[in-house]
Amino acid sequence: MPELPEVEIVKQSLIKGVQFKKITDVIIKNRNLRFKIEKNLKNKILNKNINNIYRKSKYLILKFDKNEFLIIHFGMSGTLHKIKDNNKIKTNLSFYHLKNLPKKHNHVYFIFKNFKIIYNDPRRFGFIKYFNSHQKLNNFFKNYGPDPFEKSFNIEYLKKKLKDKKKNIKNLLLDQKFISGIGNIYANEILFYSKINPLKKGENISNYEINKILKISKSVLNKAIKKGGSSIRDFKNSKGKEGSFQEEFAVYDREKKNCKSRNCNSKIIKINISNRSTYICNYCQKK
């Protein structure tokens, strides 16, 4: 599943090629995604300009005229493909790169002048939803925690949310009601650089550690975005360039390899927390 940096890269790709363009047709081949696509979606967005494209958590949001919105969530395997009318230039806008457009699982076609955007999703855990007001869009996200880049993600917020929490900090970082957008890869990296054991209970996180989480969350995610995301499964951007943040991993997917911290001779170990692979250095991340 893509995490915040990968969805941010998709957003940036779409802004360059799709923002301010008009949808001239919509072809729905399969409505049966995680949530069934409404039958009249085409009529609601036909001939409308995409005035803005932004990201909330791991969601891509297209804004049309009159405060209408379309959410795209990629689930486990969803991808977007930009295809020019001559069919000679095929560009994957998403995080699992393929050289050619897949022949199967192309569920939705958004048609523009001179090109089309295709939503492909083999596992169909993603979804596409339409909202006709800001209020309805906000209601959809009402139970989500702040994005790590939002001002509301601050010391006061974390102190309040961590108070009396028996859940471990790793699971809290993955809880979208607590913080939205962070997934397993970046939770591992954030906790390593913060020198916090992932099994440490939320209520035991010190003020010093809270400051570390705040600072390092932004730092790790920003670095991943600048590196073009993590090509765990061949993620490439709209220019076909691989994300390279996986080369920077300190712990994720580095089981039995040497810790990268100075003056540390330990090796990275792998444990499971709530059925999620968790990578730690027992020396640097003591409980």
- Distance in angstroms (rounded) separating the CA atoms of residues 94 and 81: 7
- Candidates 11, 58, 170, 254; catalytic one: 58
For the question of residue 3 being annotated catalytic, the response is yes
Distances (CA, A) of 80 to 60, 90, 109, 149, 235: 11, 11, 10, 25, 12
For the question of residue 8 being annotated catalytic, the response is no
**Helices marked H in 73-183 — which ranges?**
134-140, 155-162, 169-174
- Candidates 31, 42, 136, 276; catalytic one: 276
Of the candidates 41, 69, 71, which has an alpha carbon nearest to the alpha carbon of residue 131? 69
Distances (CA, A) of 200 to 196, 214, 273: 7, 17, 12
For the question of residue 68 being annotated catalytic, the response is no
- Candidates 3, 6, 8, 209; catalytic one: 3
Length of the chain counted residue by residue: 287
- Candidates 2, 5, 146, 148; catalytic one: 2
Contact (CB, 8 A) for 123 and 174: no
268, burial (CB in 10 Å: exposed 0-12, middle 13-18, buried 19+): buried
For the question of residue 276 being annotated catalytic, the response is yes
- In terms of phi and psi (left: phi > 0; alpha: psi -120 to 50; beta: otherwise), the region of 114 is left
- Distance in angstroms (rounded) separating the CA atoms of residues 19 and 39: 25
| Tokens 């939770």, residue located | 187
Distances (CA, A) of 197 to 156, 168, 187: 22, 9, 11
Residues identified as active-site? 2-3, 58, 276
